[in-house]
Structure formats: structure tokens, C-alpha cells
Structure 1
Amino acid sequence: MEENVELAPPDIRTKQNARARSLLRNMFDAAVAAANPIKVLADHLPEKPKGRCVVVGAGKASAAMAAALEAAWPDVPMQGIVVTRDDHAVPTRHITILEASHPVPDARSEQAAQEILQAVKGLGPDDLVIALISGGGSALLALPIKGIMLEEKQNIGRQLLHSGATIAEINTVRKHLSAIKGGKLAEAAAPAQVITLVISDVPGDDPAIIASGPTVPDKTTDQDALRILRKYNLDVPASISHALEQEPTKDPTQQSVNPKNRVEMMATPLMALQAAADVARKAGITPLILGDALEGESSVMGVVMSGIARSVQAHGVPVQAPAVLLSGGETTVTIRSGQKPGKGGRNTEFLLACALVLNGQKGIWGLAGDTDGIDGTEDAAGAIFTPDTLARGIQNGVSAEDFLGRHDSYSFFEKLGDLIKTGPTLTNVNDVRLLLVL
């Protein structure tokens, strides 16, 4: 242990840390910039409509997307409503911006969903609906189906977020408890054409999962949602069980869809990783993208990626150092029943696990962050770990093992001054994880 956490001479350590920190932060910033709606939206717009143009949307990036749309089409009369997370609104001229709660919906989420459904009613075949969809939209559009109270949806949502369920599983349940998700918004807009512009935050970029697919036909069933609730042994109120058990199973192929509707993927996790990789190449570092859709427990992901970094350093496999390992996707943090977690998110938990596995190994640094600027529910996008993270933790009287055990990774990196705080980035292409081997 003492040999592993021994610090390098101060002058060498300072230069290496400064270079590594700067490069990692530049890579992360490039990943975020690659999903900037102002940069990418104009390339995905359809032909201007003959009739009315109604804009709706939901997600952490939806307000910025609305502003970008207005800038790209200054001569097109438009109206509409989008809902975004608190503190994510931006000025617009014609499109109304609403804010609501995330990741657990509130009454404003329900009201926003009702107003958006109303905005698309009574349209004709010459009218155009542009749906601006990004991550976070599931919580921001929370209109329960008949017979279910918002409070019951909120409770199920909280349980799912702590259960270790994947985002695809969580959103499957959300769709079947919703009167607007799972393609229902597009059905309400018929016969108008619906063009959905998407910034993806989910593994695989499935538009039916992003924000629970309010304009995309749903291929899952009520029985799928029930199986997920039972899989994670959730405390399900009778009203929800009854609604899912009694609702007749719909054939997804029979969902009413305008054949002119289409989805345009504006920005994805892979695009963000490729932008980060370009920064590494320009710095003389070989990038290796391990995947844009990696899922699993955050701490386990830390063990796996740290093991690959060690192989790079020791054997030049699967890539020769100097190199950086990149991955995207959404990991999970499972909270045990009865456990009261500390402050943390999936990215800081991943990094703290990395630091413990590497145990002060020289020449390896890491950064992980959520591209929306908010890791979980805290005010940091993520953090950075360095070869001397554990040693500095000891110097500050904090144990990495203890903090990881109680899911308090935010507090650990806060004490070391290694949190990354960007504020809301107004976009979201999920997490970016970087391990730099010099």
C-alpha cells in the first residue's frame, strides 16, 4: 500500500498532473460542445411547412433546441411549448418555455404535458409539428393514465431510480403509466406530420427510449412493464397493478402513425466520444473508444476500465500508451433496501472505484462526467481522479472505501477539490468516461 500511494517528486508530479488534467478537461468540453443544439440543429430541419408550424418538446436540451430552431427559421411563423428542467430555460421569441422537476416529476410536469397535448390538437395534413426531444423528457412530461395519481407515479419513479434498473427498463414502465409517452403525442397530432429532432442520452440511441418516446411508436407492452416492476420487487400500489393487468394488450403494429412522420438524430453519445477522441489525437495521445452504450453497476465499470488501463500500461494491450480509453452510456448505482445513500452520482462513484482499484498506480488519470452538467442530482458534472487521489484523501482524513461504501462519492471529491462544475450545459448525450494512460 505505501509503495503504491508514494508521491512522485513534486516538480514531475505537478507537470504531469497539470498536463493530464488539462487534456482530460479539454476532451470532456469537446464532447459537450459536439452536442450543442445551435451547432447541429440546422442540418436536420425538414422543408418549411405549407401550413402551421407547431413546436413541442421536452428534455434538458429542449429550450436550447427551441432557441436554435427560431434562429434557423427566422421567417417561419411558429408557436408552441417545450418543457425543460429547472434553471435550463433560455430566451425565445415565439415558443413558450416551461420548467419542471427532474428526475422525479412534479405537478408542473403534469401541467406541461397537458398543455403540450392541447397544442397539437386540431391540426391538419398541411401543418407541421416539430418535436424537440432530449434526455430528461420522461420526468418532465408526466401525465398519468386514468386511474393513477401523480404521487403514485412519483413513488414508482423513485424506487426505479434506486433499484439498479436500466434506463430502457425505467422508461418502459414510464411509457405504460403515461398518457403522452410511447407515441401518444404523435397520435394526438395526427393528421399533421411530426418531425422529431432528438439529442440522444440512452445506450443504443433508440428514439423509443429517449424521453420515453412521446412521438415514437411503442413496441413494448403493459406485461413488459409489469415484469420489470416484479423483477426489482418494487412496492407497487394496487391502482398501478390493476391498470397494467386490466389494460388490453395492444398490437404495436396497429398504432396509428402518420407515414410521413420521421425522426432525426441530431447528436449522440458516439458523436461526443469522437469529438473527445479528436482532441486526444491532436495532443499526440491514441484514443480507444470502448463503446458508447456501456451499462452496468458504476463501481463494477470502474473495476473493468481500470483493469484495461493497467493492461495498456503494462503490456500495450489493447493499445499502446500514451493512450486514453473512452466510453459512454449510462451506468447505475444500486441502493440497498434500507440504506440511506450519501451525496453522489454514477460518474463520481465510477471514479472512486477506479481510484481504489488502481491504488495510487502512477501514470493513470481519469475523468467522468454527465454531459448535461449534473451527475445524478448534485451540482457537479463529475470529477477527476489522479495517481495521488488516495494519498490526498488520507492527508485530508477521508477514506475512499468508506465513502464508496455509503455512495458518498461527491463528498469525497468535494473534499479534495476535484469536482467538475460546469453548470447546466443545455444539452445531454449521457456520460463520458475517460482514462488517460501516460
Structure 2
Amino acid sequence: MTEAQFLRSLFDKAVEVANPMQSLADHLPPKPAGRVIVIGAGKASARMAEAVEAEWGPCEGLVITRYGYARPTQGIEIVEAAHPVPDQAGPDATARMLDLLDGCGPDDFVLALISGGASALLEAPAESISLGDLKALNAALLASGAPIDRMNTVRKHISRVKGGQLAAAAHPAKMLTLMISDVPGDNPAFIGSGPTVGDPSTSADALAVIDNWKMLVPPSVITALSHPTGVIAPDDERLRTTENVIYAAPAQSLEAAAELATMPVQILGDAIEGEAREVAAVHAALALSSKPCLLLSGGELTVTCRGTGVGGPNVEYLLALAIALDGAANIHALACDTDGVDGGAEVAGAIISPDTLQRAKALSLDPQAMLDNNDAHSFFAALGDQVVTGPTLTNVNDFRAILITA
């Protein structure tokens, strides 16, 4: 097995462990008597719904997932919508989901399936915010370089469904929310912007995020944030019948990958945040000073887009890593998003090897210029070193592996 094949096997294992068809059933209770409604949103939500019906049989419900991520279900309706910048399909499906919850009583049971991606798929913006303004806001958030929890703070306070409001809409029904975490620290309030989790933040906090990261957002967003919002406080009575459970998280995937290694393994952390190229510089220094081993890490890096490329935190991390390693003879690395999509490209990530820069030079590629232009995806496409998985139907955030050989 080559180094590249080994690194890819680690990534595949990380994804496999988070596959809802293998991991969700253990966290399902017996199917309750009476009316059961299954709702959900996220890149893994259709696969989660498929896993639920494999245990419970046909169910009433509706989940919203990304285009191309639908799965065959028996009773639960699967709606596809745009991600990461929403289209009209998301708000339309969200309105239908709220209609489905309208009139729920104390004898009803609602199962919510939430995974990364729900923030852009489950959309019910404040009435003053048009779809065009919602798209502009999401584009600004994604280009800002702000951490995911800060971005989701803004999203909650311009929404009528995030920040616990979906759970409030189902009250007084009993609700169980099963989550796949894609956020550093596994805070359920920030997974998919916490539609079933109370939140203590305020509109002022959201405005501070916009100001601190110098985001250019539509005036309607500022107007909406200037008025009290519907975000639900954690101690709100309407949340007392809701239980939130994270059943799959990045740490589990990193640990599963580590079990495949025959060399010493160091897990640097499952919640690493920061600008992709800056984290890469730190990891390069660590790799260059390490004895033979495998360095694993997860979390969610960010990219502040200043060029004309499509960004992508995993490929930007890798290109910066390759530049910093400068052809070190014994270091290979992989960085991929476990959902199969890195930034705005339908590519999971890429792999680098000691000859990456040499092969780039032979193709007249300028690594630093392409990094400065946020165009790492084009760099790795030209080299043929992209990792393309298609929809993985799960999402436990970024997966990074650096292999240091003797």
C-alpha cells in the first residue's frame, strides 16, 4: 500500500464510522405508540431518515438535504435544496415542515434529525429579508473567515426556525433530536444553528459578529437584527419536552482512523479552528520536528476569501502545508471534508507528497500565487491529486492526516 493509499484508507474509515446506517440505530428508542413525525435537515439527514425507517418502518415526516444527497425512504419525504447558499426550495420546504408540526399535542412524538448543513437548508428568514438578501448574507458569512459558531449566531437571529424555534414549534409534543456534530467542541447549539436547542445570545451579539469580521450584509439584515428576535432561551418552558443527543462526532472518526495505524499516532485535537494557511504553518513546523508518526486532527478551519478562487479550507490548508514543508522527503498528508464537499467545490480535498511542488513546477504552476488567489482547488486539479468522493451522506467536519515516515 502506498502512502497515498494509506492516507485515503484513514479518511474512508473516518467517514464509515459516521455513516448513519451503521451508527444511528443504537440511539433510537423503540418506536413510540401514537403519532410519530420525523423531521430533519442537513447533508446527512436523508441517510439518517433512511436509517430510522430501517428500524421503525415507514414514518410520517419531511427532511431537507443538499441536492444530490437524497436517499430512498418509505414514508418520510426527502426534499433537496441548495447548500451552502440557499435557494427557494429551502424556505418552501421549511414552511411545509412547520405546517406539519402545527397542532402537535402532548401525546405526539417528534424525532428531529440534524446534521451539518442544516443552517443553509432549514430556512425561514425574518419577513423583511428576501431570498436575495438571504443569499447575500450567506455568501458574506462564508467569505468572512469567521468561525462557524459566530456565523451561526448571525443566522439564528435573522431566522424564525433556528436557535430552538423549531422545538418550540413542536411544543407540547415530546421531541428527541439526534445530531451528527460538525462543529468544533460539539456544542449542540451550533450544529445546524441549533434549531431544537435554546440559545442565550442576543441580536447585539449577532451585530457584533458582523462588525468584527467587517461583513458587508444587506440593510434588511441590519434592520432585522435591530429588533427583538424569536431565539428561544435555554430555560424556556417550550424546550422542557425536548432531548438533544449528539450520537456521532469528529473524535470518534479520528479514533477509528488511529486504530488502522501501525506507527505511533498523535491526535492533535478534534476541534481545531483558525485560518487554514495559519494552522498549516503550525502543523508543518510540528511535522518537520517529529519522529516517524501519524498526526491526526479535526475541527473546522476557515478561509478569508480575498482572491478569485473558490477557497476550500482543506485544500488551502494542504497547499500552505506543501509550501511550508518545501519538499521534505518523508512527509505525506491528506486533508478532506467528511461530507465530500470542500468549500464551494464538489471535491472532498486532496493529498500532498514530497514531490508536490516539483510536479507543480513542471506544469508551470505557482503555488504561492495560487494560494494567494484562494485557488488551491485548481492547483490540485492540475496535479491530479484531488480526493473526489461524491456525497458521503454524513458530516463530522474536516479530517487531516500527516504521515511522517523514516
Summarize deviations over 1:125-169 as a string: whole Å, max 9, x none: 121100000000010011111322222121111111111111001
2:97 paired with 1:127: no
Distance in 1, matches of 2:176 and 2:63, equals 15
DSSP-derived class of the 1:414 partner: helix
**Counterpart position of 1:10:** none
Q: Which has the larger radius of gyration?
A: 1
User: How far has the Cα of 1:22 moved from its partner?
Assistant: 1.4
TM-score, structure 1 normalization: 0.90
**Counterpart position of 2:359:** 392
The answer on whether the counterparts of 2:157 and 2:206 sit within 8 Å (CA) in structure 1 is yes
User: How far has the Cα of 1:253 moved from its partner?
Assistant: 4.5
Distance in 2, matches of 1:32 and 1:23, equals 15
Distance in 2, matches of 1:421 and 1:254, equals 44
Distance in 2, matches of 1:258 and 1:217, equals 7
Structure 2 gaps of 5+ residues are none
Summarize deviations over 1:278-321 as a string: whole Å, max 9, x none: 111xxx211111000000000111111111111113xxxxxxx2
Q: 1:173 to 1:250 in 2, by over 3 A?
A: closer
Deviates more, 1:270-279 or 1:42-51: 42-51
**Counterpart position of 1:6:** none
Distance in 2, matches of 1:240 and 1:399, equals 39
Summarize deviations over 1:66-120 as a string: whole Å, max 9, x none: 000000112xx52000000000001101000000000011110110110111111
2:387 paired with 1:417: no
**Counterpart position of 2:23:** 40
Amino acid at match of 1:122: G
Distance in 1, matches of 2:230 and 2:375, equals 42
2:59 paired with 1:78: yes
**Counterpart position of 1:225:** 206
Count of aligned residue pairs for this structure pair: 405
Distance in 1, matches of 2:64 and 2:232, equals 30
**Counterpart position of 2:50:** 67
The answer on whether the counterparts of 1:343 and 1:411 sit within 8 Å (CA) in structure 2 is no
What is the root-mean-square deviation of aligned Cα atoms in Å? 1.4
2:297 paired with 1:327: yes
2:248 pairs with 262, 267, 288, which one? 267
TM-score, structure 2 normalization: 0.97
Counterparts of 1:370-409 in structure 2 under 5 Å?
370-409=337-376
**Counterpart position of 1:209:** 190
The answer on whether the counterparts of 2:104 and 2:173 sit within 8 Å (CA) in structure 1 is yes
Amino acid at match of 2:271: A
2:93 pairs with 112, 125, 142, which one? 112
Distance in 2, matches of 1:296 and 1:21, equals 26
Distance in 1, matches of 2:118 and 2:229, equals 26
Q: 1:106 to 1:250 in 2, by over 3 A?
A: closer
1:145 pairs with 103, 126, 135, which one? 126
Distance in 2, matches of 1:249 and 1:198, equals 22
1:177 pairs with 146, 151, 158, which one? 158
2:25 paired with 1:55: no
The answer on whether the counterparts of 1:360 and 1:388 sit within 8 Å (CA) in structure 2 is yes
Q: 1:360 to 1:266 in 2, by over 3 A?
A: same
**Counterpart position of 1:162:** 143
Amino acid at match of 1:241: I
The answer on whether the counterparts of 1:123 and 1:190 sit within 8 Å (CA) in structure 2 is yes
Distance in 1, matches of 2:180 and 2:302, equals 21
Amino acid at match of 2:115: S
User: How far has the Cα of 1:249 moved from its partner?
Assistant: 8.9
Runs of 4+ in 1 over 6 A off after TM superposition: 248-251
Amino acid at match of 2:304: T
DSSP-derived class of the 1:83 partner: strand
